[in-house]
Amino acid sequence: MPSDGRRPYASRVSTEPPPPTLTERRKAATQLDIAHAAAELFATRGPEATTAEEIARRAGVALRTFYRYFRSKQDAVGPLLTVGADRWRALLAEAPPGSPLGPALRGAVEQALATPDPQAVEALLRTRGLLRAAADDPALRAVWYRVNQESEELLIPVIARLADGRRDPLEVRLVAAAATDAIRIALETWSGTEAATEGPDSPADLAVRCLRSLLGPGDDTP
Amino acid sequence: MPSDGRRPYASRVSTEPPPPTLTERRKAATQLDIAHAAAELFATRGPEATTAEEIARRAGVALRTFYRYFRSKQDAVGPLLTVGADRWRALLAEAPPGSPLGPALRGAVEQALATPDPQAVEALLRTRGLLRAAADDPALRAVWYRVNQESEELLIPVIARLADGRRDPLEVRLVAAAATDAIRIALETWSGTEAATEGPDSPADLAVRCLRSLLGPGDDTP
DNA sequence: GCCATTACGTCACGGCATGCCGTCTGACGG
DNA sequence: CCGTCAGACGGCATGCCGTGACGTAATGGC
């Protein structure tokens, strides 16, 4: 029972989330329960050997309920794989429009990945476990691809806002793709090692290096 | 995984294809039959409304045989989506090692896509049809993601050979990812339009522009 | 407190995907 | 030319996947 605790503050501007009701919070909790159950079973016995029924049982819901939350058993770990990208994108969206692209991207990724927050570290380690399980499971890899693809699409409007009309839509889309690739490859590379979550081979450092390599310094010479 | 059946030929330089036997040719033909049957059904009534049984029947094989060739009904169109990338990669592999990356990539893609070969045009139009069907079918999109991912991985050794030790492995991988993205986004963009297979909005021109935008002129300043 | 809404469980069912076995055909050495 | 054998294919059976339909209980607005 995560006590999220976000409360309605009188002065709230338009785009802020409306206060989540009890039902909504329970739904979110149920979704996370299922996701965690799936991740644990996948990481231990592998997705192939895990049935949707088992995931549902471990999460304490009926099979039918499982399929109300997810289209397939592999999809169940999706929320756990997206949290990192969501965090990064949210940080990036806070940068002022028109700021230079490269530094903004790298700054956001550093904040998102190099955090001492124990919950974020936990998420990072879970991601590594899933990526390793995905190494020999095509269906799980497919989820990873899909998640990255969706991240790329969600990144487009954010990049467009930062570029502020200085780049045409096609270019924006390419930058979004490249940035997503940089993060993806950094995480994949890190998952293949025994490196810790901090230090020179940490995901944050890797990601920053990847971003710089693909997009250059990126202090916005149009 | 077919057991290749490589026959001993006295004078054989390593990389030449062994002469395909009748059985092998028939297998390849059957695979293409199934792929074409699937592509046609997917393009008309959509993947969701198409059963594996129907694909098999239209291809003239038993359902069991279908699943000997493909792991799922969506996978059946895989071979049709890979031909373009295969062609491009093969052309790229012919470039001399050490040649500048950017021009090599753009030259290969131009040869692969701007060809007057009617068969290649046919393949392009088929790809467009499949991409449009994928627009509202997650499972088919997943195949597209997988194909691109595999293309990226197959591209890595080719790029490494071209870079000829002037770039470290991580960098090579990033370049492979970016190049794959450029082609992918060019094709996706083109598929969303009514543009012809040649002209200023042709896939070839789009791809070249995307490559230049992401990788710069690429005349190899290390 | 009363009712519309909605999240959840139970049942049933068609399609997906694979293991097993029998048949037949093409490949290959004698 | 022929016998042997690998393997390509079809048919059958089966377990899991994913969804529609319907009933129930809890929730949130009036």
Can you tell me the mean pLDDT for A82-103?
Answer: 94
Q: Is B177 on the interface with A (CB under 8 A)?
A: yes
Q: Nearest-CA residue to the C1' of C6? A: A23
Query: For chain A, what are the domain ranges?
Result: 22-72, 77-215
| pTM greater than 0.85 (yes/no) | yes
pLDDT value at B220 more than 80? no
Tell me the per-residue pLDDT of B40-86, one tens digit each, with 9 for 90 and over.
999 999 999 999 999 999 999 999 999 999 999 999 999 999 999 99
Does residue B49 approach strand D to less than 7 Å at its CB?
no
Comparing A12-16, A148-152, A195-199, B13-17, which segment has the lowest mean pLDDT? A12-16
pLDDT value at B102 more than 90? yes
d(CA A84, CA A93): 14
Residues in chain A closer than 8 A to B156 (CB atoms): none
Q: How much is the pLDDT for B20?
A: 77
Q: How much is the pLDDT for A222?
A: 43
Q: In the complex, which nucleotide's C1' lies nearest to the CA atom of residue A51? A: D16
> Distance (Å) from the C-alpha of residue B8 to the closest C-alpha of chain A?
33
**CATH homologous superfamily of B77-215:** Tetracycline Repressor, domain 2 (1.10.357.10)
Count CA atoms within 13 Å of residue B123 on its CB side.
Answer: 21
Can you tell me the mean pLDDT for A116-134?
Answer: 91
Where are the strands (E) in A41-138, listed by range?
none
Residues in chain B closer than 8 A to A170 (CB atoms): 185, 189, 209-210, 213
Indicate yes or no: CB of B170 within 8 angstroms of CB of A189: yes
**CATH homologous superfamily of B22-72:** Homeodomain-like (1.10.10.60)
Q: In the complex, which nucleotide's C1' lies nearest to the CA atom of residue B62? A: D10
What torsion, rounded to 10 degrees, do the Cα atoms B93, B95, B96, B102 define? -110
Residues in chain B closer than 8 A to A149 (CB atoms): 141, 145
Residues in chain A closer than 8 A to B177 (CB atoms): 178, 181, 184-185, 214
pLDDT value at A83 more than 50? yes
> For residues A19 and B155, which has the higher predicted lDDT (pLDDT)?
B155
Tell me the per-residue pLDDT of A128-138, one tens digit each, with 9 for 90 and over.
999 998 988 89
Which range in A188-197, B28-37, B209-218 is most confidently predicted, on average pLDDT? B28-37
Q: Is A222 on the interface with B (CB under 8 A)?
A: no
Q: With bands split at pLDDT 50, 70 and 90, how would you rate the model's confidence at A61?
A: very high
Q: In the complex, which nucleotide's C1' lies nearest to the CA atom of residue B56? A: D10
Does residue B7 approach strand C to less than 7 Å at its CB?
yes
Q: State the average pLDDT for chain B.
A: 89
> For residues B165 and B29, which has the higher predicted lDDT (pLDDT)?
B29
